[in-house]
Amino acid sequence: MKKELGIFLLLVLLCVIVSVINPNFLLAINLQNLARQIGMFGIFSIGLGLVIITGGIELSVGSMMALLGVLMSMMLTEWHVGVVLAVLLCIAIAMSLTLIHGLLITRLNMQPFIVTLCGLLFYRGLARFITKDETKGFGTSAGLDFLRFLANGNLFGIPMPFVLLILIALVTWVLLHRSVYGRYLFATGRNSEAARYAGINTRSTITIAYVIAGALTAVSGIMFAFYTNSVSPANHGNAYELYGIAAAVLGGCSLRGGEGSVIGIIIGAALLQVLRNLVNLLGIPSSLDFAVMGAVILIGVMADQILSERRNRRRRATAQDA
């Protein structure tokens, strides 16, 4: 809990600073837009967090979103697939692809970094190939109102992606922190050897985490596609996996596995979006966007590391078997 509290305080502090310097931060329209971004980025970040808890990584998120985005557009505007079917297909494709990642990692003992890096390259290439590198979109096609509402609409003034994030967060919170699967996930991430000795099916535990990440990537991906309303296969979703990884790590997930929480990941995702917003509102040249984010993440993680090291040293000293 300490980790989450620290990052939460950092988030509050940033919000206060920005709103003091530029009160426009607190305008309803700005907050709404911010919440929308947090929702869309938060959802796939949770999935990435699960994968990181297994001790793995998923780098293909951004490319997969581009692939799903162009497929969505082609299904709906060119192939005349029904809306419901198109959404289900989209989610199914993402889950199948990450299922393959999970199987390659757990059955063939391939390294997650490599498997998903190849995914990153492959899906991007595939998206560009099937579109002949043309930007795809939804224009003003009829019958897509519900999907447009999901991405751009509000429910009682709250942006839909944020509402969806809260719902998904509740479900994954229960899954991660209250269910047998969650316990097995943490056990496997911490020490897969001991988990195996306790009779846990570590392979399927890990694979399921990848599949869930795939499903959440698809949900985010569909929203992003309708949010931008046009999908350029070469750029859409570029580097989004890094937002997810950064959110998870800021939120207390350890890349070594076995550590993390849903609340932390969401706060991490929110912090990243506040940072982007801050760059806008404070008139910092937008070319510095990434630099600011990099610096804040580095400082945040560094502070956390220094504090926890100090805590550990004290604890270790106490517990030393003398």
| CA-to-CA dists, residue 78 to 43, 82, 171, 274, angstroms | 28, 11, 35, 37
Cβ 167 to another protein shortest distance, Å: 18
Coil, helix or strand at residue 20: helix
178 contacts another protein (rule: CB under 8 A): yes
Eight-class DSSP state of 136: E
Cβ 176 to another protein shortest distance, Å: 12
Rounded to whole angstroms, the Cα distance separating 264 from 253 reads 8
Stretches 59-67, 79-87, 184-192, 215-223: which one binds another protein (CB under 8 A)?
Answer: 184-192
| CA-to-CA dists, residue 303 to 52, 250, 299, 307, angstroms | 21, 11, 6, 6
Eight-class DSSP state of 234: T
Rounded to whole angstroms, the Cα distance separating 264 from 156 reads 26
- Site for another protein (CB under 8 A): how many residues? 29
109 contacts another protein (rule: CB under 8 A): no
Q: Quickly count: other Cβ atoms within 10 Å of residue 20's Cβ.
A: 9
Whichever of 11 and 195 has its CB closer to another protein, that residue is 195
- Residue from 1, 108, 142, 180 touching another protein (CB under 8 A): that is 180
195 contacts another protein (rule: CB under 8 A): yes
- Residue from 174, 255, 284, 306 touching another protein (CB under 8 A): that is 174
Stretches 30-38, 136-144, 181-189, 298-306: which one binds another protein (CB under 8 A)?
Answer: 181-189
Whichever of 78 and 321 has its CB closer to another protein, that residue is 321
Cβ 266 to another protein shortest distance, Å: 21
Rounded to whole angstroms, the Cα distance separating 228 from 233 reads 13
Whichever of 32 and 191 has its CB closer to another protein, that residue is 191
Beta carbons of 245 and 252 less than 8 angstroms apart? no
- What character string, x for contact with another protein (CB under 8 A) and - otherwise, covers 286-315? ----------------------------xx
- Direct distance between the N- and C-terminal alpha carbons of the chain, in angstroms, rounded to an integer: 29
Here the tokens at position 145 are 């109102």
Residues 252-271 that bind another protein (CB under 8 A): 258
Beta carbons of 215 and 44 less than 8 angstroms apart? no
- Residue from 80, 109, 197, 283 touching another protein (CB under 8 A): that is 197
Cβ 67 to another protein shortest distance, Å: 32
Stretches 16-24, 46-54, 130-138, 177-185: which one binds another protein (CB under 8 A)?
Answer: 177-185
201 contacts another protein (rule: CB under 8 A): yes
Rounded to whole angstroms, the Cα distance separating 249 from 52 reads 9
Q: Quickly count: other Cβ atoms within 10 Å of residue 51's Cβ.
A: 33
CA 309 to chain centre: 27
Stretches 175-183, 234-242, 278-286, 299-307: which one binds another protein (CB under 8 A)?
Answer: 175-183
**Binding residues for another protein, per CB under 8 A?**
174, 178-181, 183-184, 186-187, 190-191, 193-201, 258, 314-315, 317-322
